[in-house]
Amino acid sequence: KKGTKAAGKGSTFYCLLSGTPIDGKYIKAEGQAGRMGSKLMAIVCEGRSERVYLSPEQVQEDLAFSAKPEWKPEQMLVGKSADQVPLYGMRTYGDLFSDRQLLALNTVYDLIDDLRIHKNDAEDSHVHTSSLILRGNSVSEITYSNALALYLNYVADKCVDYWSCVCSWHISGQKMRNTFGRQAIAMVWDYAEANPFSGSTGNLIAMLDWVRKAILTSCPLFAGYSLQSDACNQSISENKVVSTDPPYYDNIMYADLSDYFYVWQKRYLSTIFPDLFQTIATPKNDELVASQYRHKSKKEANDFFLNGMIKAMSNISCQAHPSFPITIYYAFKQSETTDSGSFSTGWVTFLDAIIKSDMALVGTWPMRTELANKVSGIGSNMLSSSIVLVCRKRDEAAQTISRKDFLRELNQEIPKALDTMINGSDTSSPISPVDLAQASIGPGMAVYSKYKAILEADGSPMSVHTALILINKALDEYFKEREGDWDNDTRFCLQWFSEYGFKEGVYGDAEVLAKAKGLSVEGVRNSGVLLAGAGKVRLYRPAEYPADWNPLKDSRTPVWEVLHQLIQAHQSSGESAAARIVSALPQLSATARQLAFLLYTLCERKGWAEDARPYNDIVTAWLSIEKQAVKGEDKDEQTEFEF
């Protein structure tokens, strides 16, 4: 029932017969020797509003392995694409597909090519239909049949994404996961093979429908064109309003991953667009990313990114229209945590490039850009927004100030900015906790970047890295100052949580902490937030709070309890249940939302992704919850609480 794959990351398995662990090195050696195959384990069938899982018969497995494709991509995987699967013997793009998948893909592409050729014959004998397209600086024609083949190749691209042997099965959703569920070609040990002719997940008509919807929703109101040029020396942005989404340091190697589709497109589209498919693989050397696959060391990769980004941003800054700011999308998550705060090399390097381009940050706009299912995925604490950096050319008369003056100004500006982010404003909703640390960089760097330099005590200029650490400390100070708004029970819970999370701790330690807050453990227990007994103390998880809680009959209602009751109501009964609590305790609920931000930040720094998610979810839903609470009050509806 449990299978033979050992828990955790890596390639360790258990022997099917003896249960003895099999080392990952042996598995990799067998794969590289060509001795790793596939075994058909189950067939998923469509039932009446459900999936039916059947054990396969040998004839079905024989049929699967009887396919003989005429062509397979022989291009070698490189860079980021070669991060995992070549370790197990899959060295070429053709190795990423089963023979049956290759046969299906060849058939789809050949049919599209046949349609293009025969349609051209029909056009020559009847009426010539063509459209004008811009290639570089010249105008040329593309026939209707070639345009049709191009769009149908988008359908085939979708099939390539869903018909590979690194597509896993989405257990809870009972559907296909595509190859690029994330920006990597990842090894999977049990893959799902879609039936192209079914009416279910991963089928051909579904891929066609995706492209159809995209075309219908992206029809332009007027004709336009696009140009491609190197950002470091382009002149396209001269006197233009610039809004750009640059590469995110070492986050995604687009050129490496693009080869997955390029090897198929080159075979079938090079006759239509010969100038686009002149190279064997996609160009990579000039891609402005910090790729360790293309450089000798991490430092060399970092220097390449920094120097290239300085050139690109300086070029944009010099040419952009002076009346308008330059807006830059950035969503690189802070991932490194030290005793002195959180930061990431990606942010440090990118901000360093902007400042060395003589630009100043004048603001940030968190903008919701990610799908909800991406943000709340299993084990995820991904950003739900991109951070839009608003930049202008730095004043030529910019001054130099001391570290002390910088800190004074920082501590004035950060609280005002955070108040707006956390509480929202007339024109914006509250930011998600998952985005708070990123968004707070903006107002902090606005102070840093408007000066020519910030001088340390020894006269040296303050680095961007140091500034980011100080900004994070200002974020911590913001929350510490607001602890005074919370009751003693909540302050006890907060300090206990920072040490133990939802795990058990020693009763004696809890009693010492409680006395320091002017409390007793028994008193805090009576407030309904923790379990105490047998020499142990543990805070209740949100799901353990009673569903029949009545806040109006509770004589001791700490903010901690209100927050976790809100989470329990939201998780079990939805926004309407949480809205009833907000309606009954509006002031405490608002304070509870601030506590949610702090607890999310704390969990994130501790690496407690599962514990962090409910705090982000309740704040993300807060605007809708408040609207329902107000709506209930306006209608004077009777709630489930007794007044």
pLDDT tens for each residue of 316-353: 999 999 999 999 987 655 444 444 444 567 778 888 88
pLDDT tens for each residue of 69-127: 999 999 999 888 888 899 999 999 999 999 999 999 999 999 998 888 776 655 554 44
pLDDT of residue 422: 81
Q: What is the C-alpha to C-alpha distance for residues 75 and 264, in angstroms, rounded to an integer?
A: 10
pLDDT at 33: 95
Question: Buried b vs exposed e over 402-412: b needs ≥16 C-beta within 10 Å?
Answer: eeeebeebbee
Q: How far apart are CA 511 and CA 502, in angstroms?
A: 17
Three-state DSSP class for 162? helix
**Percentage of the chain lying above the pLDDT 70 cut:** 88
pLDDT of residue 642: 44
Question: One-letter amino acid identity for 12?
Answer: T
CA distance 444 to 454: 13
Say what the pLDDT of residue 339 is. Answer: 43
Sign (positive or negative) of CA dihedral 171, 173, 179, 181: negative
Strand partners, 52: 45
d(CA 527, CA 513): 16
Distance CA 56, CA 165 (A): 18
* Token representation of residue 489: 């029970």
CA distances from 462 to 352, 448, 486 (A): 11, 9, 36
pTM: 0.74
Q: Is 480 exposed, middle or buried (0-12, 13-18, 19+ CB in 10 A)?
A: exposed
- Contact 642/552 with Cβ under 8 angstroms? yes
State both tokens at 527. 């407030």
- pLDDT tens-digit map of 488-525: 999 999 999 999 999 999 999 999 999 988 999 999 99
Residues of the chain with pLDDT under 70: 119-141, 331-344, 368-385, 424-429, 632-643
Give the chain's length. Answer: 643
DSSP letter, residue 612: H
Number of H helices, E strands in the chain: 21, 19
- The whole-number pLDDT of residue 127 equals 46
Residue with tokens 């811009």: 134
Spatial contact of 332 and 251, defined as CB atoms under 8 Å apart:
yes
Among candidates 458, 433, 465, which has minimal Cα distance to 567?
Answer: 433
Q: How confident is the model at residue 371, as a pLDDT?
A: 53
> What percent of the chain is helix, strand and coil (3-state, nearest 5)?
50, 10, 40
State phi, psi for 215 to the nearest 5 degrees. Answer: -65, -45
Instruction: Quote the tokens at residue 238.
Output: 């001269």
Question: In sequence order, what are the beta bridge partners of 530?
Answer: 539
CA pair distance 552, 580, nearest whole angstrom: 11
Decide: 357 and 317 in contact? Cβ < 8 Å: yes
